[in-house]
Amino acid sequence: MKKAIFPGSFDPITLGHHDIIERGVTLFDELIIAIGINADKNYMFSLEERKQFIAESFGNNPKIKIVTYEGLTVHFCQENNIDFILRGLRNPADFEFEKSIAHTNRDLSSIETVFLLTAASTSYISSSIVRDVIRNHGDYTKLVPKTVRIK
């Protein structure tokens, strides 16, 4: 069984994430969307909200599991028999950053990183841009799945 993890903070999940998940799930028997918990980070959305946004989008897909975790992604992978890390690439800067992480992960374990290019229509979207649009009362709805709602 080929299991992959798609890790991130998903604060919030964007249409770019959504695209990678929809395409990535076709490559693996199980895709685990793993929301990382970092105590040093100030999140706009609570862990429960982020998990709910994802569950409302993908909760009905039997190949997708949604979890939270702390610590190194490779340790979570080793503890849960996950062989692949799925990552999306928007631009050359993402590639350079993700390449360094992938090399480090390969040095720490035998886990492979699989990269998918984001769709051209979503390659400009990042969670930090979405948060900035929200903070400044812009129309964020064009950047995120319909499940992301501001209270």
- 148 domain-assigned: no
pLDDT at 150: 85
pLDDT at 127: 95
- 151 domain-assigned: no
Chain segment 94-151, per-residue pLDDT in tens: 999 999 999 999 999 999 999 999 999 999 999 999 999 999 999 999 999 999 988 7
CA–CA gap between residue 106 and residue 104 (Å, rounded):
5
- Integer angstrom CA distances of residue 31 from 39, 66, 93, 123: 25, 9, 25, 22
- 87 domain-assigned: yes
CATH number of the domain bearing residue 15:
3.40.50.620
- 46 domain-assigned: yes
DSSP-derived secondary structure for 16-74: HHHHHHHHHTTTSSEEEEEEEE-TT---SS-HHHHHHHHHHHHTT-TTEEEEEEES-HH
Q: What is the pTM of this model?
A: 0.94
**Which one of 17, 18, 51, 87 is the catalytic residue?**
17
Chain segment 27-38, per-residue pLDDT in tens: 999 999 999 998
- Our answer to whether residue 51 is catalytic in this structure is no
**Residue 63, domain extent:** 3-142
Number of domains in the chain: 1
Chain segment 40-91, per-residue pLDDT in tens: 889 999 999 999 999 999 989 999 999 999 999 999 999 999 999 999 999 9
**Which one of 2, 9, 41, 135 is the catalytic residue?**
41
- 147 domain-assigned: no
- 121 domain-assigned: yes
**Averaged pLDDT score across all residues of the chain:** 95
Contact 102, 113 (CB under 8 A): yes
- Our answer to whether residue 17 is catalytic in this structure is yes
- 12 domain-assigned: yes
- Our answer to whether residue 127 is catalytic in this structure is yes
- 8 domain-assigned: yes
Identify the three-state secondary structure at position 82. coil
- Our answer to whether residue 46 is catalytic in this structure is no
